[in-house]
Amino acid sequence: MGGRNNKRRQHMPLPLEIEKITGKATKAVYDKMKHDQVRSLKQKTAALKQNSAAKAASTGTKRAAPAQTQSPAGQKRQKQQPQSSGKDAKKQKPAVVAEADSDEDEDASMVVEDGPDGGWDNAPLESDSEVADSDDSLDEFDSANEEDDEAASEDEGEDDDDVVTQKPLSLLSDESDDEEDSDASEADSNDEGVESYDEFSTDGEDDGEEPITFRNMEKRSRKLDAQREEDEEMADMELKDQDQAADGEREAFELPSSEQVEAEKEAPLDLTQVQMRIQEIVRVLNNFSELRRPQHSRNDYMDQLKRDMCFYYGYNEFLMDKLLQLFTVSEAVEFFEANEVARPVTIRTNTLKTRRRDLAQALINRGVNLDPIGKWTKVGLTIFDSPVPVGATPEYMAGHYMIQAASSFLPVMALGPQENEKVLDMSAAPGGKTTYCAALMKNTGMMVANDANKEREKALVANIHRLGVSNAVVCNYDGREFPKVMGGFDRVLLDAPCSGTGVISKDASVKTNKGPEDFGMLTHLQKELILSAIDSTNADSATGGYIVYSTCSVTVDEDEAVVNYALSKRPNVKLVETGLDFGRPGFTRFRGQTFHNSLSLTRRFYPHAHNMDGFFVAKFKKLSNKIQVGDKQIVPAGSGAKLKQKKKH
């Protein structure tokens, strides 16, 4: 399912928050009432959903909310709205709206210019008819809200994050990619323009009669966007009102007693009950001073929450602990929810053989529904649905693209290999990053792809050959042997083996099969690997001397702690900007540990925040091949320095 819907869901209030529960009901009555209310609410939300889905369909892509949203769990998730994110969104609103608008303007003009080109334009054209269809039904709904429009217009940006992600990026124009940077600056000056545009969009009742043209279509879709936002706005406000009213009357939440906990171990509650309890606890924890029961400490609540979440999401306690430490309680819930949903399939264009425009054209001709991943990459495409298996199209076999998670673009972009360099990928299989590096190097220089697992190397070699990479050397060593085997690299990419807590959506077995001993072993290995990666790099390289460390794990032990260890063991490296303009900065302190200040230069990516796998990227620059220890200078072997001495440890 598309990333768009994931995001939207998080901004909806949870069902419980709009329930009215009278004070003195018994447990049974309480449950029954809840049930009834949930049901009525379901109907309400379903109606709302249909509208918004119809609108989503009308915004230029054909993706309506699929079946998943109709499942009860899905609906509940959809209603969830963490307070903090709502506030954030408000703050950012004007800039974001403006940005989206200005982009769309450009896109519209591009589309018109490139109009006769053919297939790629079909997507907007097809959706056009849907616009017309959905218009009538929407108009009724809109008219009801007409009066509130003016009042709501100020808050309109509430969900503007979505607008940003939904904004169609132009594939046809490389120019738009280049111009993206300037958009933000333009945005500030465009505030008035936005408002006037809003007005324009709300007053035109007779749009449906206009003939549909490219320009017109753009406007219409924009109008529909705005309308949809209003709807949501309205719904939100309504729900909030209810919520606030409910808060006063609602029975304060009671933690289960220790006997109950014991009893639950014997006969577990059903999932919906557990989920409700999770939401209750989250609500209490978010407003602890008011909603708590004096006899229970915060820890009591946390313990119960942990137990419930372990049960509900199926994690083991150790991992649950680790992950809860990373996030606030409500964000953690978002994180776990995001892990239950598969990330969209993404592909990377092989620029050695084709261009993104040509590839998109070819895939669209096969009926594949796709979009650019985001403005941060010029080679990525997201596949929404496809009538043919994406891994078996003639284009795939001819090596025109690689199926690759969006997150695995990041370390290569951070590494930024250049032509005629000697680059090492320490754990390369199955070759997504390696081939991306080779593509950036335009098949010049030398790309050494290493992997410790011989079986996985088959896929690596196959991908390298399929994508037409001719400068690659594939070898099978333990990465820790590396400066001894070969050294003096201009750039080294270390995508370390990790626990995979960032890719739980891909491999759910991580939830249960990772214990403390696994983490101990992995972090030890990662620390050894990062030192060999640093030692394999040549600081004297004219163009490079960079090391990128990345993991697909979000735990601090495997990320910041390892980077910090490398900084302390190898004073000849420093952290530098990764060159990725999104993602959250790494932790500089975490539960009593303090890391080097420069760790804020590293980047973290989360499934719930960035709609890609959880990921961590750090970029080092090696300053010298010598390490100053006291008075002595030590030269680790293999760094490309002429002087050779014993390796320091």
Partner 1 sequence: MRPLTDDETKVFFEKLTKYIGRNIVHLIDRPDEPYCFRLQKDRVYYVSESIMRKTTAIGRQNLISLGVCFGKFTKTGKFRMHITALPSLAQYAKYKVWVKPNGEMPFLYGNHVVKAHIGRVTEDMPEHQGVVIFNMADVPLGFGVSARSTVDMRKVDPTGIAVFHQSDNGEYLREEDALF
Q: Which residues are catalytic?
A: 552
Structure-token pair, residue 296: 């229970």
Residue 377 beta carbon to partner 1: minimum distance, rounded to whole angstroms = 24
In angstroms, give the least distance from the CB of 455 to partner 1.
Answer: 9
CA distances from 178 to 141, 181, 346, 375, 625 (A): 40, 7, 22, 9, 37
Q: Which is nearer to partner 1, 220 or 466 (CB)?
A: 466
Residue 428 annotated in ligand binding: yes
Pick 334 or 451: Cβ nearer partner 1: 451
Size of the site for partner 1 (CB under 8 A): 32
Residue 644 sits in the site that holds partner 1 (CB under 8 A): no
Would strands 472-475 and 446-450 be described as parallel, antiparallel, or unpaired?
parallel
Between 337 and 395, CB nearer to partner 1: 395
Q: Does 457 bind partner 1 (CB under 8 A)?
A: yes
Q: Is the peptide bond before 430 cis (omega within 30 degrees of 0)?
A: yes
Helix (H, G, I), strand (E, B) or coil at 217: helix
Rule CB under 8 A: is residue 422 a binding residue for partner 1? yes
Q: Which residue in 474, 547, 561, 563 binds partner 1 (CB under 8 A)? A: 474
Q: Would you say 8 or 422 has its CB closer to partner 1?
A: 422
Q: Is there binding between residue 480 and partner 1 (CB under 8 A)?
A: no
- Cβ pair 498, 558 in contact under 8 A: yes
Note whether 398 binds partner 1 by CB under 8 A: yes
Contact call for residue 252 and partner 1 (CB under 8 A):
no
Q: How far is the CB of 349 from partner 1 (least distance, A)?
A: 14
Tell me: does residue 476 bind partner 1 (CB under 8 A): yes
Least distance between partner 1 and beta carbon 649 (Å): 23
Residue 64 interacts with partner 1 (CB under 8 A): yes or no = no
Q: How far is the CB of 463 from partner 1 (least distance, A)?
A: 8
Residue 478, SS3 per DSSP: coil
Annotated ligand binding at 451? The verdict is yes
What does the DSSP 8-state code read for residue 206? G
Give the DSSP H or E segment for 491: strand 491-495
Q: Which is nearer to partner 1, 119 or 520 (CB)?
A: 119
Which is nearer to partner 1, 95 or 475 (by Cβ)? 475
**C-beta of residue 528 within 8 angstroms of C-beta of residue 494:** no
How far apart CA 559 and CA 585 sit, in angstroms, is 12
Please give the angle made by the CA atoms of 136, 140 and 144, to the nearest 5 degrees: 155
What is residue 474's three-state secondary structure?
strand
Q: Whose CA is closest to 469, among 451, 445, 487?
A: 445
427 belongs to an annotated ligand binding site: yes
Q: List alpha helices for 146-295, DSSP H.
A: 148-153, 160-166, 174-189, 191-203, 214-249, 258-266, 271-286, 288-291
Tokens linked to 39: 């049901």
111 forms part of the interface with partner 1 (CB under 8 A): no
Task: Supply 302's token pair.
Answer: 């946390």
Per CB under 8 A, the list member of 332, 472, 563, 566 interacting with partner 1 is: 472
Does 431 count as an annotated binding residue?
yes
- Chain positions 374 to 393 lying near partner 1, rule: CB under 8 A, are 391-392
Rounded-to-integer distance, Cα 308 and Cα 268, Å: 10
**Does 124 carry a binding-site annotation?**
no
Q: What are the b/e assignments for 288-307, b being 16+ CB within 10 Å?
A: eeebbeeeeeeeebeebbbb
Among 226, 235, 332, 486, the residue binding partner 1 under the rule CB under 8 A is: 486
Residues 312-371 binding partner 1 (CB under 8 A) are: 362
Q: Smaller CB distance to partner 1: residue 239 or 474? A: 474
495 assigned binding-site residue: yes
d(CA 290, CA 459): 57
Minimum Å gap between C-beta 460 and partner 1 is 8
Q: How far is CA 69 from CA 2, 277, 325, 345, 382, in A?
A: 12, 22, 30, 19, 20
Q: How many CB atoms lie within 10 A of CB 179?
A: 15
Neighbouring C-alpha atoms within 13 Å toward the C-beta of 150: 1
Shortest CB 209 distance to partner 1, Å: 41
Give the one residue of 44, 296, 465, 596 binding partner 1; rule: CB under 8 A: 465
Min dist. Cβ of residue 461 to partner 1 (A): 4
47 binds partner 1 (CB under 8 A): no
Q: What is the C-alpha separation between 477 and 429, in angstroms, rounded?
A: 12
Instruction: Establish if 442 lies at the interface with partner 1 (CB under 8 A).
Output: no
Per CB under 8 A, 253 contacts partner 1: no
Would you tell me which residues interact with partner 1 (CB under 8 A)?
A: 362, 391-392, 394-395, 397-400, 422, 446, 454, 457-462, 464-466, 468, 470-477, 485-486
Residues annotated as binding site? Answer: 427-433, 451, 478, 495
Residues annotated as binding site for S-adenosyl-L-methionine? Answer: 427-433, 451, 478, 495
